[in-house]
Amino acid sequence: MEGYLHLENGETYKGEWLSHSLQHEVKGEIVFFTGMTGYQEVISDPSYKDQIIVFTYPLIGNYGINESHFESKKPHAAGVIIYEGSEMPSHYKSKYTFKQYLEKWNVPVLGHMDTRAIVKKIRAHGTMAAVMTQNSDPDNKKYTMVKDQKVSKVASSVIEQFGDGEQHIVVIDYGAKKSIVDCLLKRNCQVTIVPYSASIHDIHNLNPDGIVLSNGPGDPKELVHKLPVIKEMVQSYPTLGICLGHQLVALALGADTKKLAFGHRGANHPVADLERGRVFMSSQNHSYVVDEVSLHGTGLKKRFINLHDQSVEGLVHDDLLIQTVQFHPEAHPGPSDAEYVFDEFLKMTTLKKRSYINA
């Protein structure tokens, strides 16, 4: 059956439905992901909540879907756009095809799409509202971004505990990826995941050695009401902020954020560590960045930068025990180049001042 993608700017693209999940029109913010692999982690990443994902690599699903690489319990994308979807995955761990998994959760998939043309349009016009539909005629009245609080849709509402290691790390859940917890458990930590609505008294009662502010979807300024609590947390405990968590730390300490034209999403973004004097490839998924100009007077300074556009990729503080990263150190864009961020953070939890990098 023919299907259509209508963009906010008036463009229409025709493809074929690869799933039978579309019972109604699906709306979302259209974005693109440039990685050749990692599609299972992408569709189950809560940071993609309510977004229509265009996969730029022409063949998706060739190694199937396994039981161990999910970032959450279900997919969060509103819809998926691909060129070709493999129906014969060739990996010994594969349990489902890409199509079967998305059909199970009623996530529509449009295939045989000119994904290269769509990505070029997004790069030229920026991320925009889009509609996946069976109707070939666009209706411009439908092209509106839904301004809602996305974190509340994906974050946990209960406290969860994992591991029994030596260091107790509290993860503030804004839509945390499972692999963040896995990286901490691998380093012999006890991990407590708490809802983002937790009060500072709730955090004090847990008596953590350190705090991780997780990734999550949406505009960080949608959580402006939580900034006083975040500020008190980062002033009280060694803190690691990842992606959305990085942006929230910056906002809480007086810096500002801004939206990128089409965001950074993929497993091939080069990042420079200014303190270590090294470059590595990173995995990323975000629409917003910290405005470097706004760092003046906050005590924050950039440590990591994106070598594509020079945007801020991570911060440290002159006095507080804070480290933040815009990229995903828990992801694996090939080797695990960025996992040392977790090692530095855990070392920081044992120190009393910000001299841990070269200690």
User: Pairing mode, if any, of strands 257-273 and 278-290?
Assistant: antiparallel
Can you read off the two tokens belonging to residue 182? 């896995």
**Cβ proximity of 85 and 109 under 8 Å:** yes
What is the distance of C-alpha 83 from the center of its chain? 23
Q: State yes or no: is 243 an active-site residue.
A: yes
Q: Of 29, 41, 71, 330, which residue is the catalytic one?
A: 330
Phi-psi region of 25 (alpha: psi -120 to 50; beta: other; left: phi over 0): beta
Measured in degrees and rounded to the nearest 5, phi and psi for residue 252 equal -65, -30
Q: Which of 220, 240, 222 shows the shortest CA–CA distance to 172?
A: 240
Q: Which of 41, 183, 189, 243 is catalytic?
A: 243
Q: Please, how many CA atoms are within 13 Å of residue 22, restricted to the half-sphere of its CB?
A: 23
Residue 300 backbone phi and psi in degrees, to 5: -90, 145
- Determine whether 112 is an active site residue: no
B/e letters for 293-314, b = 16+ CB within 10 Å, e = fewer, are ebbeebebebbbbbeeeebbbb
- Tokens 């997004």 label which residue? 122
**Known active-site residue 328:** yes
Catalytic residues: 243, 328, 330
